[in-house]
Structure 1
Amino acid sequence: MTRATLPIILTGDRPTGPLHLGHFVGSLRNRVAYQHDYRQFIMLADAQALTDNMEDTGKVHRNVLEVALDYLAVGIDPAISTILIQSQIPELAELTFYYLNLVTVARLERNPTVKEEIRLRGFERDIPAGFLTYPASQAADITAFKATLVPVGDDQVPMIEQTNEIVRKFNRLAQREILVEAKALVPALGRLPGIDGKAKMSKSLGNTINLGASADEIRAAVKQVYTDPLHLRVDDPGHLEGNVAFIYLDAFDPDQEGLAGLKERYVRGGVGDSLVKKRLEGVLQEMLAPVRARREAFAQDPGAVMQMLKDGTFKARDVAARTADEVRAALGLRYF
């Protein structure tokens, strides 16, 4: 198949801070692999990030470059993956406006992902309208590029389901297949907990290890990694469940056979947490050192990075514009 006929993947991140290990295990590693076998669009969802960052729009603006550097550092190749900036494609906002007529407020409020995000942010009933309508915005992002696959965490699956509801309703109204349904690609490992073990790894909770972290930052973070609070002495039997150090090793340690032996000894008793953390630090230092070096190299020429984003965005807008034109025609909004 030519790249034009390959299945299409859409993925992306809200540029509210540098990317971290949670992003890496959840999607970034897969994006690097996918780009060789799929036609991939990677979106910097800056417009969506404003729905709960309107008091600090500068943070979103600054982090567009930071996240782009992280993409390049992990191996995303802009020659084969299209990296785009959401706010610079007005057709996405236009499609969102149309799709809002295909959903009710009650349905938006029932979306489990939206409900959980509202709870985490403490909005209660004081919800920014843009935040509440995120499912329609995400549907626009996905359908604009006629993506058939969307890599997401399991908590985001309801968003894909609601996108497909909108697709089916629109196609029924249009009486022909214009929009395309998408399938969620959920990583087998799922989301990483934060280093504190209390929640998912999140910039807002301050429990992350960033992809561009220095050697000293990695060392300091690993010292704080949650293990087994009942494992007070080296000879005490240890527990693996909820043990963040072992969860990270499961995700990143290339020597899984050696890790299995370490687990057996830890559970039996005789292995201290310091030894486990020493192994974890070694794994993360080795994995992140080349990522950090590539990131620093790309950061030497921010103008080139922004030109890459501009080129990708222009390319993506051509695709989105064609879809928006089809949608307008189906709605009887083509006059000239």
Structure 2
Amino acid sequence: MKDHRVLSGMRPTGQLHLGHYHGVLKNWARLQNEYDSYYFVADWHAFTTHYSDRIDLEKNVSDMVVDWLATGLNPNTATLFVQSKVPEHAELHLLLSMTTPLSWLERVPSFKDQQEKLKSKDLSTYGFLGYPLLQSADILIYKAGLVPVGEDQVAHVEFTREVARRFNYIYGRESDFEEKAELAIGKMGKKQAKLYRDLRKAYQETGDDESLVKAKALLGEQQNITLGDRERLLGFIEGLGKIILTEPEALLTKASKMPGLDGQKMSKSYNNTISLREKPEIVKQKVNKMPTDPARIKLTDAGDPNKCPVWQMHQIYSPDETLGWVKEGCTKAKIGCIECKKPIVDSINSELDPIQQEMTKYEANPNLIQEIIFEGSERARIVAKTSMEEVRDAMGITY
């Protein structure tokens, strides 16, 4: 699947926590072995909501990359980079803003949602309104076919598909498009060219989606045609012009089950997190302060695990044997809440110990972190530059 490209990013908000690890990083580490993966620090995005805050971006970026590496991301397998080190993102964002209707941005679900959640901030800025389009540019510039997201982010991927479709419709209409498409078909060889024509006819005459899937796979296998020819022939099948920007698909990831210390989703905004850098004694203090079933006032009071945030933690960290012990001990008042919390403390500390050992290695070599960021950003920029050459060419600004 390495011919499929995955792209995802994360804002540099500081040290990461267990919610990031279970909800995102473990998934990224798995995907890097299956796909051509690009993961970036979205430092420009930090300004869309926190433009007036005094953020130590340099430290936040460095800490985040260290956390990524310590949890299993491999710079030799995945391309790890920083958004602002690839200025082509900003250029594509600008050019896409010329064709994107204002109403599309205003209807993005997170626009009103974030304004409601962040009432204390002045978000009446173009940067905030336009951040979904910058997000689209982040994806489209790498022609990423897949974007790993939770269900709450699917709307952003669909918005990106609409942006790409509109751009392709406006700028993919080459005057000699059909002539170039026919020349490209000729490069495929007689047998493959006939198969392509048959599949194109089947799709255009009957709307047979399977024919479209087969034709895309056929084009993906071709060695005799250029990337531009491949995109041209994709557009030729679908009755469009040349496909300049690839429409991405959402790669749905399971929602993170990691609860915070209060039972809500683990989030810095709720102040309920356990950092990946937390010391063992702090983990113990935090877990021991977690609220439990309010019905258990005294040790002799029976409790209900389903009303206890600690039970949610047990479901992530504890084996069946421990779960049975907790359930019986709680419902029959055989164990106290501190006793119940001890396996959680031990499991979290066991999980964090190897991660923190890796962090120590990387933090002892800050030059290595800089090299990884520089090399990853340079690799990303090569791809981004190629995409921008095609975009400029399509828009007629190559003079």
Normalising to structure 2: TM-score of the pair? 0.76
**2:267 is matched with which residue: 202, 226, 234?**
202
Task: Give SS of 1:211's match.
Answer: coil
Figure out how many residues of one structure are paired with residues of the other and give that number: 328
Contact 2:257 2:316 (C-alpha < 8 Å) held by counterparts: no
> How much has 1:266 moved relative to structure 2?
5.6
> How much has 1:89 moved relative to structure 2?
0.6
What does residue 40 of structure 1 align with?
Answer: 37
1:147-186 equivalent positions in 2, closer than 5 A: 147-173=144-170, 174=172, 175-186=241-252
What does residue 99 of structure 1 align with?
Answer: 96
Amino acid at match of 2:332: G
What does residue 108 of structure 2 align with?
Answer: 111
1:253-264 equivalent positions in 2, closer than 5 A: 253=318, 255=319, 257-262=320-325, 264=327
> How much has 1:327 moved relative to structure 2?
1.4
CA distance in 2, matches of 1:318, 1:266: 59
CA distance in 1, matches of 2:380, 2:101: 29
> How much has 1:126 moved relative to structure 2?
4.2
RMSD after superposition:
2.1
What does residue 329 of structure 1 align with?
Answer: 393
> How much has 1:132 moved relative to structure 2?
1.8
| Cα 1:233–1:157 shift into 2, 3 Å | farther
1:301-322, Cα deviation, whole Å (9 max, x unpaired): 1111111100000000001111
Amino acid at match of 1:201: M
| Cα 1:16–1:103 shift into 2, 3 Å | same
> How much has 1:333 moved relative to structure 2?
1.9
| Cα 1:264–1:178 shift into 2, 3 Å | same
> How much has 1:213 moved relative to structure 2?
1.2
Show structure 2 runs of 5+ residues with no match. Answer: 173-240
What does residue 65 of structure 2 align with?
Answer: 68
CA distance in 1, matches of 2:123, 2:53: 18
CA distance in 1, matches of 2:249, 2:322: 34
Q: Which of 1 and 2 has greater Rg? A: 2
User: Between the two proteins, what is the percent identity of the paired residues?
Assistant: 33
Task: Give SS of 1:250's match.
Answer: helix
| Cα 1:325–1:227 shift into 2, 3 Å | farther
**1:55 is matched with which residue: 52, 56, 59?**
52
CA distance in 2, matches of 1:102, 1:230: 59
Amino acid at match of 2:314: L
1:277 lines up with 2:371 in the alignment:
no
CA distance in 1, matches of 2:254, 2:325: 23
> How much has 1:250 moved relative to structure 2?
2.6
Contact 2:290 2:309 (C-alpha < 8 Å) held by counterparts: yes
CA distance in 2, matches of 1:218, 1:158: 36
Amino acid at match of 2:337: D
Show structure 1 runs of 5+ residues with no match. Answer: none
CA distance in 1, matches of 2:147, 2:291: 32
> How much has 1:267 moved relative to structure 2?
6.4
Task: Give SS of 1:138's match.
Answer: helix
> How much has 1:281 moved relative to structure 2?
0.7
CA distance in 1, matches of 2:243, 2:345: 51
What does residue 376 of structure 2 align with?
Answer: 312
| Cα 1:21–1:58 shift into 2, 3 Å | same
CA distance in 1, matches of 2:74, 2:377: 15
> How much has 1:128 moved relative to structure 2?
2.7
What does residue 299 of structure 1 align with?
Answer: 363
What does residue 268 of structure 1 align with?
Answer: 331
CA distance in 1, matches of 2:322, 2:96: 49
| Cα 1:8–1:246 shift into 2, 3 Å | farther
CA distance in 2, matches of 1:145, 1:134: 18
CA distance in 1, matches of 2:257, 2:169: 36
CA distance in 1, matches of 2:321, 2:100: 52
Amino acid at match of 2:8: T
| Cα 1:183–1:272 shift into 2, 3 Å | farther
1:58-94, Cα deviation, whole Å (9 max, x unpaired): 4222200000110111011111111100011111011
Amino acid at match of 1:107: W
> How much has 1:265 moved relative to structure 2?
2.0
**1:221 is matched with which residue: 253, 267, 286?**
286
CA distance in 2, matches of 1:53, 1:303: 28
| Cα 1:275–1:102 shift into 2, 3 Å | farther
What does residue 205 of structure 2 align with?
Answer: none
